[in-house]
Amino acid sequence: MAYGQTGTGKTYTVGQLGKEDPSQRGIMVRALEHILSSISLETDSVAVSYLQLYLESVQDLLAPEKTNIPIVEDPKSGEVSLPGAAIVEIKDLEHVFQLLQIGETNRHAANTKMNTESSRSHAILIIYLQRSVRIKEESTSTIPNVAEHILADDLPLVLKSKLLIVDLAGSERIDKSGSEGHMIEEAKFINLSLSSLGKCINALAENSPHIPTRDSKLTRMLRDSFGGTARTSLVVTVGPSIRHYSETSSTILFGQRAMKVVNTIRLKEEVDYESLYKKVESEVDHLTSEIERQQKLKHNEKIQLEERLKESETFLNDLRMTSAMQIENLQKEKHQFEYAIKRLMHELEEKEHQNKVLSERIIHLETSLNEKKQQQLEIFSSTKILAETSKGHEKKMVELVKQLEEERSRSASMKSHFNILQQQLSDAQNSAQENTARELKRELSKITKEFTSQVHSLEEKNSQLISEKDLIHVELKSANEKVQHETRHRESLEAEVLRLKRPLTDNCVEESKALSGMIRSGSGLGSDALMSKSGKFKETLSSLRGLISKIFEEVGLTSVLALLKSKDLEVQIHAVKVVANLSVEDINQEKIVEEGGLDALLSLLETSENTTIHRATAGAIANLAMNVSNQGLIMSKGGARLLANVASKTDDLPTMRMVAGAIANLCGNEKWHMMLKRDGGIKAMLAMFQTGNDDVIAQIARGLANFAKCESQVTSQGHRKGPSLLIEDGVLTWIVANSTMFSPPARRHIELAFSYLAQNEENSRDIIVSGGIKELLRISRESSREDARSLAKKALNSNPAFLKEIQ
């Protein structure tokens, strides 16, 4: 609160609006501005009441019709409240200005000798703050056991705070202020309330057992501010004139006594049982519906298993009938084989009989041959006798010799013919017997083996059918057990999903912003909660990446890349997602490029028409483009052209964000700027601005900043001359026209890109023609980035053309 003599600047210090000049703002506006910049609209709420104490009557400055508002004290806590006072929730600083302007309009003020606008009432601005947070339950919980596992051991907590900013009316002397008429009555009440306030301060400073807070409504309303549970700051205002020496001395003594008052700070926190009840109720409804769904699913699976059992029994009966028919056919074939064996045995006996006949004929021929030999011997002996006895009969002897020679020749021919016949007979006998016996034995053995193998095959089929029946019963039993196990596992997974659902859906950038906001606001409790959520998110993300790496090690990169060429669309989608996740790690990028993964990704980008494949492929290329060596490969293989084509064809915002991110990474290497421009990368980025999506625009703005930064560096080093390539594609004109239209992250990147473009003096003419001097001045003064402001100031101070234009 501000205390001091009238006309010394209390209202100026506390209640000055300063709408046009921020440096002229008072404590009320500055306090609300700081609060609004330090809170999160998702968890925090801010509301205000603006009152005045006029003639010992509490009046509402935001609702002038409300007068004589009662002051109520809680008998238990001693907290002071004002039922009936208007409480207005605020969202932004413009609303604050409107409310304070209304209050100042309704406040009583008058012209005195001491002040042209002297406040005739005490103004009190009450700011109510409320924050919803969650903390770990440490003490014994009073929540029912049914909700304990749903709430994950945490409770919704409401932190409440109240800030009072008091602009006290100044104490005055009638002879100095020149008050008269009704103003004298106002001065009496002002001095009365200030006197009561001084008494309370004196009593507190002297540790008096009685504090006269009920002497005035002002002291009743402010009892928490001195000697209570609040942290109190006192602004003492004094005048420099010597004629006000006594008032100045009295004011300083008041402040000196007030410094001796000791306040006890107390944290005010409550459990938000209403939101807790609503959450438990919604969780119970969700779990009830989930249980019903699981029971229905289990019933359907049971019906399916029963149908499969019936089908298996039917199939088993069919197999039994088929096997019986096959056994009957085999029995018939067996009888046929037995009849064939009997017939063959009969033929074999006939062959043996024929062999016996042939043997008898051979014996008879041998006997005849022996007889012929005997006759030849007898003829030879007779011839010899005749030669010895008949020497004289030469002619007859010659004839007999001739006859003998003829007989001999005939005998030799007959002998040789007999030998031939005997040999032929022997050969025919041996071959006929051996061949016939061998063929019969072979055929008999073959038939026996076939019959035996068929019998064994039927027996094996029968035993196999029996084992399959037993196996089906075992599988049915294991399936029932598996269903029960899967049900329990699914319930545990659903509980885990509910626990991880909130951290997994949070965006990393939003968490980092919220974290920095918590740290700036000085709220230790909120910061710990946010750090805990961020840690869970990172742990979940790390486990997912570990699972993908494990799959990659087991399957192999070559197999994963081969799936990119699969004709099955679903297989292609899953494969390209795995490659995109693997490409996040630097250690995997080199392997992917060496195994031909980059070529496969670019081929997919060119040939596929599927939006999901385009999005995942662009994300993988964006990850690979983070490596400088990969950027050259991507550009040389036409990657920028393919990305630009996808951007021109798709209207899917996530796909555009991935494409914009990939092109933005390629913009970070000056070697490929000319090729990137030629392949349409810059024009594609400008075309994607039309989507109006903050995420897409943030990626494009980052790419322009990378492009301008690299170009500025090589230009300053003397490796490049001439105006920027971005100017030729109309980027400069677009920046000047739209730099203040986007979200803060995108705006910061665009301001940085424009500041880098301004460093090149050959861009000066285009910047001046497009009206960029005003934008450069704005960046040098208002940009939230220190480097952008420094670059803008450097360009304005060092460029003669800019200096001339400013003058």
Residues 390-442 have pLDDT tens digits of 555 556 556 655 766 666 666 666 666 666 666 666 665 655 555 655 665 66
User: Cα(576)–Cα(600) distance, rounded to whole angstroms?
Assistant: 10
Confidence of residue 477 (pLDDT cuts 50, 70, 90): low
For residue 247, pLDDT over 80 is answered with yes
User: What is the rounded distance in angstroms from the CA atom of residue 666 to the CA atom of residue 700?
Assistant: 12
Residue-level pLDDT at 478:
60
Burial of 613 (0-12, 13-18, 19+ CB in 10 A): buried
Least confident of 80-89, 268-277, 402-411, 540-549: 540-549
Residue 169 to residue 6: CA distance in whole angstroms: 7
DSSP 773: H
Please tell me the predicted confidence (pLDDT) of residue 137: 44
Can you list the positions of beta strands (E) in 93-167? Answer: 109-110, 118-119, 122-136, 154-167
Q: Helices (H), strands (E): how many in the chain?
A: 30, 12
- Strand segments (E) across 286-431: none
> What does residue 310 show for φ and ψ, rounded to 5 degrees?
-65, -45
Answer whether 146's CB lies under 8 Å from 134's CB: no
| Nearest C-alpha neighbor of 595 from the set 617, 579, 571 | 579
Highest-confidence segment of 236-245, 421-430, 480-489, 584-593? 236-245
Taking the C-alpha atoms of residue 605 and residue 580, their distance in angstroms, rounded to an integer, is: 13
Distance between CA atoms of residues 778 and 419, nearest Å = 136
* Planar angle of CA 11, 14, 18, nearest 5 degrees: 90
User: Do residues 165 and 199 make contact, with C-beta atoms less than 8 angstroms apart?
Assistant: no
| Secondary structure element (H or E) that encloses residue 2, with its range | strand 2-4
Q: What is the pLDDT of residue 381?
A: 66
Distance CA 510, CA 533 (A): 12
Contact 523, 44 (CB under 8 A): no
Q: What is the mean pLDDT of residues 101-126?
A: 87
Cα–Cα distance, 652 to 575 (Å, whole number): 21
Report the predicted TM-score, pTM, of the whole model to 2 decimal places: 0.38
Three-state DSSP at 577 gives helix
- Give 156's pLDDT tier (boundaries 50, 70, 90): confident
Name the residue among 512, 510, 495, 508 with its Cα closest to residue 541.
508
CB 106 within 8 A of CB 61: yes
The CB-based long-range contact list for 390-399 (8 Å cut-off, 24+ gap) reads none
| Host H or E run for residue 582 | helix 569-582
Average pLDDT, the chain: 78
Residue (of 553, 615, 562) closest to 588 by Cα position:
553
- pLDDT of residue 527 exceeding 50: no
d(Cα 290, Cα 528) in Å, to the nearest integer?
33
Per-residue CA distances from 448 to 324, 334, 347, 750 (Å)? 22, 10, 18, 95
Q: Quote the CA–CA distance of 725 and 538 in Å, as a whole number.
A: 40
Amino acid at 666: L
How far is residue 488 from each of residues 161, 287, 298, 452, 494, measured CA to CA in Å? Answer: 46, 14, 12, 54, 10
Instruction: Render pLDDT for 161-184 as a digit per residue (tens, 0 to 9).
Output: 899 999 999 877 777 776 777 788
User: Residue 395's pLDDT is what?
Assistant: 63
- Residues 109 and 104: their CA atoms lie apart, in Å, by 9
- What would you report as the CA-atom Rg of the chain, rounded to the nearest whole angstrom? 56
Cα–Cα dist 366/784, whole Å: 136
Q: Say yes or no to pLDDT of 219 above 80.
A: yes
pLDDT for 383 equals 58
Residue 380 has pLDDT above 70, yes or no: no
Could you give the dihedral angle defined by the CA atoms of residues 22, 25, 31 and 37, in that order, rounded to the nearest 10 degrees?
A: -10
pLDDT for 147 beyond 50: no
Closest listed residue to residue 704, CA positions, set 674, 725, 679: 725
